[in-house]
Amino acid sequence: MKLLYTVLLWSITSVIVYSQCSAVEVNNSSILQTGSSGGNCTYIVNANITLQRGNASVKVFYTCGTNATEMVLEDCFSWDKPSTKNFTSSSFTCPCEAEVSVRFIGYANPSCGGNACGEVGTINSGESTESQLALDLTNFKVEGLIRDQACFSWEVEPTETGTVFQLEKSTDGKSFVALTSLSYRDIRIQGTTATYCMPLRGTAQYFRIKAVETTGKVHTSPVRFVKNKSAFTEVQFSPVSHQIRLVGDVDDLMAKPLYIYSAGGQLVHQQTINSDRIDLPQLVGGIYIVRIPQAEGPLVRKVII
């Protein structure tokens, strides 16, 4: 399974980005247990990785269990020219009962120094990147369709409707925060391709999607790097729950005031934001304006009820 990624983002202000990490492919990888003692198990990572152009390097990070601190191995897998290499990592130890997760982080230089340019692969213990998954997240893409608008797409199994998807962003390609959680009813599916669109603004961003199956199993896509405008908040109205939903950089809006005005300019609702879901008073149908003051200028959105 190849974890090659490229990003195409079209708009008047967009830039096609070929980060050096986009030339790195993790062809296959696995976590192997090599021994155990006193409840702790020893592991190594095997990987076959291709560099298509230039020079680059890859570090390996591992986690022992869901809430454990991520650690980095001493290994630095590097290339000074395009080639395919087989790597065996140094050994590391985790409690035997803990699920082991490994991430491959790419660097746009051959010394593993400087800033990382993104995640180029992930794997969990008991899996292999060669195995077939119901969700093929290796095809996760970001495409800008119009100015300030981007669509995220990935492959799904249409009959597996219980899976929840979490769209995440990062400024450094390593530490991610959630933008929004999506169920099958929130995305558009055509064939086996799922699509979700939202606005973009701001500086360079990294994106990835996580899929959490009904069994609790988590799959993570490769990281996509986008140099354009970062995801920002849009407002959606849910007639079933009679709420408005804030989608995007919601963490930046917490504890800020929110005002809702009628089409005639009358203030009909105000509150402090403490969730991405805003309960509405029983407003009559019509067009309303949502306004959230910010230091860089107010966020103003139209919502139809």
- Average pLDDT, stretch 288-303? 79
- What is the 3-class SS of the chain, one letter each residue? CCCCCCEEECCCCCCCECCHHHHEEEEEEEEEEEEEECCEEEEEEEEEEEECCCCEEEEEEEEECCCCCCEECCCCEEECCCEEEEEECCCEEEECCCCEEEEEEEECCCCCCCCEEEEEEEEECCCECCCCCCCCHHHCEEEEEECCEEEEEEECCCCCCCCEEEEEEECCCCCCEEEEEECHHHCEEECCEEEEEEEEECCCEEEEEEEECCCCCEEECCCEEECCCEECCEEEEECCCCEEEEECCHHHHCCCEEEEEECCCCEEEEEECCCCEEECCCCCCCEEEEEECCCCCCEEEEEEC
Domains with residue ranges and CATH for the chain: 8-231 (2.60.40.10), 234-304 (2.60.40.3080)
Q: Is the per-residue pLDDT at 17 higher than 50?
A: no
Residue 74's pLDDT band (cuts 50, 70, 90): confident
Residue 3's pLDDT band (cuts 50, 70, 90): very low
- The reported pLDDT for the residue numbered 8 is 28
Which of 97-101, 207-211, 249-253, 264-268 comes out lowest in average pLDDT? Answer: 249-253
Query: How does the average pLDDT of the chain come out, rounded?
Result: 76
192-221 tens-digit pLDDT: 888 998 876 655 578 888 887 776 677 788
Report the predicted TM-score, pTM, of the whole model to 2 decimal places.
Answer: 0.40
- Average pLDDT, stretch 9-25? 45
161-202 tens-digit pLDDT: 778 888 888 877 777 888 888 888 889 888 888 899 887 665
Q: Is the per-residue pLDDT at 72 higher than 80?
A: yes
- The reported pLDDT for the residue numbered 23 is 73
299 or 216: which carries more pLDDT confidence?
299
- The reported pLDDT for the residue numbered 63 is 92
- Average pLDDT, stretch 291-299? 74
Q: Is the per-residue pLDDT at 6 higher than 50?
A: no
- The reported pLDDT for the residue numbered 109 is 79
Q: Is the per-residue pLDDT at 148 higher than 70?
A: no
- The reported pLDDT for the residue numbered 184 is 85
189 or 120: which carries more pLDDT confidence?
189
